[in-house]
Amino acid sequence: MENASALVMEDYPMYYSIAAVNLTSQSYGKLLYEFSLIPKNGAPSSLNRTAWVDAVTGDLYTPAQENAGITIDEAKTRARSAFPPGSVDRVQMKYNDGIRYDRSWEFRLYAGDTELVHGALSPDDGVLDWYALNGPTRFGRPAEPVVSMNAAETTARAEVQNRTGNSRLGLVQSRYDDLGMPDSGVAGQYVFLYSNDRAGKPACENDGFTVVVDSVSGNVQEYRRTWTKPPANPC
């Protein structure tokens, strides 16, 4: 129960506290820890929540996760293999059923107690939908970029191509975003938007990729299979 409680509080790190815990096998045909969560003072929502942890496997459990196309173990394997080996020693996986968020296997990768990556896989085929690395700290960061926009765009394009195998990408937009408030005195990040051009299929505005590259390290910080621009020509 101690480990299960820690896992739930890792998933609900702010605004909630545990009001009660029950060990039950009545609801979903599994032996589950059922947590009743109540919002703390100042929480943005006044709604109570319920969370479950599989008492056999120690994983977070969501009702209807059996409807996903891949199992939680397959999702864990795919999430771990999507990043360099050796850097991850723990995978937290949770199924989103589409009620509050898009359907997905949402994952967090850890080294010890440090979260390295937060992302999501398609629940049906395990394709990587998005990820965001633990962001750069502003302390000790130079005021100006170290990496040029052209070099960053090469990195961003290679990331999409490596993830998808598609070499036909149209650069829709490139920009430089401040890190934090404008005029914060620290180097920011480059953002690149690509259309997912494919032979024999016209490009449409919400079928593409957004990639964020750090202007100091030159590394990809975020990757998303779509972008948020309102589509004029939806897919």
> What tens digit of pLDDT does each residue of 70-116 get?
999 999 999 999 998 877 889 999 999 988 888 999 999 999 888 99
Note if the pTM is more than 0.85: yes
The CATH-assigned architecture of domain 149-224 is Roll (3.10)
- Cα separation, 23 vs 10, in Å, equals 19
User: In 6-138, which ranges are E strands?
Assistant: 16-24, 32-39, 49-54, 60-61, 90-96, 104-111, 114-121, 128-133
Q: 1-61 — its CATH code?
A: 3.10.450
Chain-centre distance of CA 198, in angstroms? 26
What does the domain layout of the chain look like in residue ranges? 1-61, 149-224
Judge if 1-61 and 149-224 fold alike in CATH terms.
Answer: yes
* Residue 115 or 235, more confident: 115
pLDDT at residue 224 in the model = 95
